[in-house]
Amino acid sequence: MTPEQLATADEAVLAPPDLALPFVTIAVPSLNEEHYIEACITSLIGQWPDGAYEILVLDGGSTDCTRDIVAAVGERHSAVVLVSNPRRIQAAAINLAAQLACERATVLVRADAHAIYAPDFVRRCVAALLTTGATSVVVPMCTRARMPGPFLQEAIAAAQSSRLGNGGAAHRIGASSGFVEHGHHAAFDLDFFRAIGGYDESFTHNEDAELDVRVIRAGGRIWMCAEAPVTYFPRHRFGRLAEQYFRHGGGRARTLRKHGLRPRPRQLIPVAALGGCMAAAAAAPFDPVLGLLGLLYPAFCMSWAITQMLRRRDPRLIAGGAALMTMHLAWALGFVIGFARARQAAAAPRYAATQAGLAAPLLPWLPGAVTATEVDES
């Protein structure tokens, strides 16, 4: 959308000649977000005219100070409402917001708690939704470390912002406005969202991509609003990063199986890296030369990290190599296990149920498990 078109869109949204101002429900899923939630909510307050918006913070049972912080903000700003989300996961939170939205609401905005939003974020998203004929709006995601932030977060942010870390996904690499198949979810036509059933709540991760498949198949259109990027704060510990990407990989596998889709080449590269590392480790006792080949992948990742460290003169970025490997290998492992489980469940439901019972002690580490880390937890 050009600046001239955006100005026209703003006029249409904020001063429509014949229509009332649309009521906007902003949904913020949360779980143990005490380090991020206040900044997130504060960045959203006042982005839409008073009396024409609400901010529903849907908390999945935080055990830190998240709920107290939200309640305190709500005392100062009546538009902010704390809601309990018994299902805990993000998909359920957004669906719950769609159910509880003010009866006047026609637009649903999704705002993840691990992020902050530019002062015109809501305005631009709503303008794009109402003037392009889209049924949903997606935006670019810019990954940044908090300032000041945890030591590892800078390296993880650098890794996630690179093509090696995000695979060249359009909403991660300087997207341009236009109709797309997928992006970081921002706004929905509320009636359309409800009509297609909202998010599939059996998905703890990749629920956004799964929904986008159904949106397009139902005749909807997805608009990338490049003028409204989101600043996202990544995990700051490798353990949390590994859990997140493991579940991302599992979720992606479930989406492919559910809709009969084929993985894209960029999604198979991490699987190839995992397979190569495992094969080299298995061959090392018998053929040291073949075993040494397994060092090529870690050496490549570390070379990238050293290059970034020298280019940006930031010694923290040396950990970016480990971040890349954590993301790639955890995603690939989750993808392989998730794909196998989805295939097994489709082919033999009874056998899958038996295996699930035997694997109960491992459920927190398998795709589809519901744990306290499902939502953007710090």
pLDDT for 134 beyond 60: yes
229: in domain: yes
* Same-domain check for residues 46 and 89: yes
* Same-domain check for residues 263 and 229: no
Q: How much is the pLDDT for 215? A: 97
359: in domain: yes
* Same-domain check for residues 309 and 226: no
* Same-domain check for residues 73 and 210: yes
Rg over CA atoms, the chain = 21
168: in domain: no
Compute how many other C-beta atoms are within 10 angstroms of the C-beta atom of residue 295. 12
Structural domain ending residue among the three candidates 211, 235, 259: 235
pLDDT for 341 beyond 90: no
* Same-domain check for residues 76 and 101: yes
* Same-domain check for residues 223 and 345: no
pLDDT for 3 beyond 50: no
Q: How much is the pLDDT for 346? A: 64
| Phi, psi values for residue 64, rounded to 5° | -100, -150
Determine the Cα–Cα distance for residues 24 and 109; give it in Å rounded to an integer: 7
* Same-domain check for residues 271 and 209: no
The residue segments making up the domain with residue 256 are 243-365
Structural domain ending residue among the three candidates 219, 235, 251: 235
DSSP structural state of residue 158: H
pLDDT for 7 beyond 80: no
| Domain count along the chain | 2
Q: Which of 117, 112, 42, 32 is nearest to 73 (CA)?
A: 42
* Same-domain check for residues 209 and 320: no
In this predicted structure, which of 149-153, 160-164, 223-227 has the lowest mean pLDDT? Answer: 149-153
pLDDT for 366 beyond 60: no
Q: Which residues contact 15 (CB under 8 A, 6 or more apart)?
A: none
Q: The domain spanning residue 86 has which CATH number?
A: 3.90.550.10
* Same-domain check for residues 48 and 185: yes
Contact 294, 284 (CB under 8 A): yes
Residue 200, classified by CB atoms within 10 Å of its CB into exposed (0-12), middle (13-18) or buried (19+), is middle
How much is the pTM?
A: 0.82
Q: How much is the pLDDT for 367? A: 38
Residue 326, classified by CB atoms within 10 Å of its CB into exposed (0-12), middle (13-18) or buried (19+), is buried
Q: How much is the pLDDT for 165? A: 86
Q: How confident is the model at residue 148 (pLDDT cuts 50, 70, 90)?
A: low
267: in domain: yes
* Same-domain check for residues 114 and 23: yes
Contact 200, 147 (CB under 8 A): no
Q: Which one has a higher pLDDT value, 160 or 3?
A: 160
Determine the Cα–Cα distance for residues 375 and 36; give it in Å rounded to an integer: 13
pLDDT for 302 beyond 90: yes
* Same-domain check for residues 327 and 220: no
Q: Which residues contact 165 (CB under 8 A, 6 or more apart)?
A: 159, 323, 324, 327
129: in domain: yes
* Same-domain check for residues 231 and 254: no
Structural domain ending residue among the three candidates 235, 261, 287: 235
Q: How much is the pLDDT for 16? A: 43
374: in domain: no
Determine the Cα–Cα distance for residues 194 and 186; give it in Å rounded to an integer: 16
Q: How much is the pLDDT for 350? A: 45
pLDDT digits (tens, 9 = 90+) for 93-132: 999 999 999 999 999 999 999 899 999 999 999 999 999 9
Contact 201, 156 (CB under 8 A): no
254: in domain: yes
330: in domain: yes
Q: What is the mean pLDDT of residues 314-323?
A: 95
